[in-house]
Structure 1
Amino acid sequence: MPDSASPSSSSAEDGPRARVRFWGTRGTCASPGPRTVRYGGNTPCVEVRANGGPTLVLDAGTGIRALGQHLQSRLKATPVPDMPASNPGPQDQAIHLFLTHRHADHVMGLPHFAPLHSRSRSVHVRCGDGDCPTLTQFVSSLVSPPLFPYVDGLAGQLLVHEWPTGEVSVGTFRVHRFNANHPGGAAIIRVDDATGPIMAYAPDNELALHATQAEHVEWLAGLRDFLNGVPLLVHDAMYRPDELTRHAGWGHSSDMEAVQLAMDCGVQTLALFHHHPDRDDDAIERIVDEARHHLLERKSPLRTLAAWEGLTLSV
């Protein structure tokens, strides 16, 4: 597997609009071990960064621990001890964390995020699973007893913002949300810049492409509009097609459903994501081979891969 790849045709002179790096790609629960070393065993966490722009973090699964260490190692300014998040100084480099929803595999890494333990960095948190009326209490509970030992000032580093609807502007980025089909609610996140869409992130989303209920058909049409022309789509591929029937209503899609959606939306690159914790590396590679064969038969230009920890895609 190469270290990086490009889903778009950005010229070398202009450079990429953004870089997307995967720090956790597994779904449901972490599954480290010899069977998952190539694609990784950490749960969802994706970093989106533009040159000289802010850091966006999508979800706080166990992969966020390694991301935090990486961000701290890149911090050129000398950390200022005990700087409150409510009054960041010039050395502060804010991090913007967007949670698709509050299920454990998407939030369990947050207490171990190194920037929280550095008093020089503020972490802005937004959640996409509805109105989140108790988001402040929920986020605070993740870094407090009984789930985590008391650390003075740790909760204060988290600046919580409600995100009921619409877009959020963060530097050069505009972040949009669309309701996913997932029990309890979740968001599909699209990141744009001044040029247009950069990438979309749908880690937990049940497409149910063959469902005929009018409400679901209308939702699918809206989803296709939301994702139309996105250069990079990161989408839930938890199940194989033959596993869908016994998991109907569980809130996840198959790899081939994700491929079909990406084809329908004119996506350039599809990154299969949220790998089943029981799926070993060889099984994931077979999935990718089947998807590519399917696309070759249909003469589709869609590029498909399975996301792995450490993969960086330039858009």
Structure 2
Amino acid sequence: MKKIMIKGLLGIALLLQFSCSEKEHFDVTGDNVNRIFVNTRSSYVNEVSFNVIHTPIGNMGDDVTIKIPVRATMPVSNATRVTLALDPNLIQQYNAQMQTAYKAVPTNLLELGNGDLTIPSGATLSADSLSIRVRDIATLTDPSYVIPLKITAISGASNAAISENLSTVFLRIHTRRTNVYDSPTSVLGTLITDRTGWTAQVSPTPTAGQANLMFTTSTQQHWTLAPAAQCDIDVDMGSIKEGVQGIRMVSANNYRVTQVETFTSLDGVNWDSQGISTVSNANNQFIRFYAPVRARHTRIRVLGWQNANFIRVIQYHIYQ
């Protein structure tokens, strides 16, 4: 199943807005040359970022598609043709400058529209835009990609030149694999009420209370780690459970966790990461799997917390 959820990207929204407006001018004091440029307004170096999430039930995140116009710092004297084109050679320079390891998107995945744009006479904005789309995002398996575009030529306008610092745009794509939802407020399945024989361990050791208090029905008993720090909450359910849908932790106001990485294991030795997720700001905090897992052991690695003084957990439940 392929599922696309389009999120509002500020940079893209601004670009689309620019393509419909000519009200703004970008005259540069002291520069008599009409500069032809691209400006996403996301940063000094033009960058627009997309996020793609691979899950066991499909791919989601941002729809990797955009339309890019070009601009002039002053109204052009004549209709001006501007050519935008891919420049793969910029990737190595970009990685060296940013200390990154972006890869090129395979050309067979790119749908590139006409790169010859026209700024009408007397205008500062092109009448058309270069459209770019990446199809079949499921095949983007590396952590990060970049699509570098560059103004390669202009013709038609007098006293015009390609901008020296705003002639390129970098479309960045970040991917990740996960089996956990971000900030879920519920979990499917049935709560396992019989936790007889379950054991728990928290590392580092809680400064107050014991980990096994999570298996009582009391809301007054808990364990606390002070000060708050990264910790592992390990639970052994005593036997392998089929079709585990998720986890619920009950916490207390202001002492909740905010980000976790969840692991599962059949033997307590070999662990599979289900992914990193944010956790909702509520007393009932859920970890929900996209696809059910088979496990005897669970490990929640706490990576973030609300209060620097305490992490506190009252109860721990599994849904099957």
How would you bin the TM-score normalised by the shorter chain?
A: under 0.3
Query: Structure 2-normalised TM-score?
Result: 0.26
RCO (CA 8 Å, sep 6+): is it higher in 1 or 2? 1
When Rg is computed on C-alpha atoms for both structures, the one with the higher figure is: 2
Query: Structure 1-normalised TM-score?
Result: 0.26
- The structure in which a higher percent of residues are helix is 1
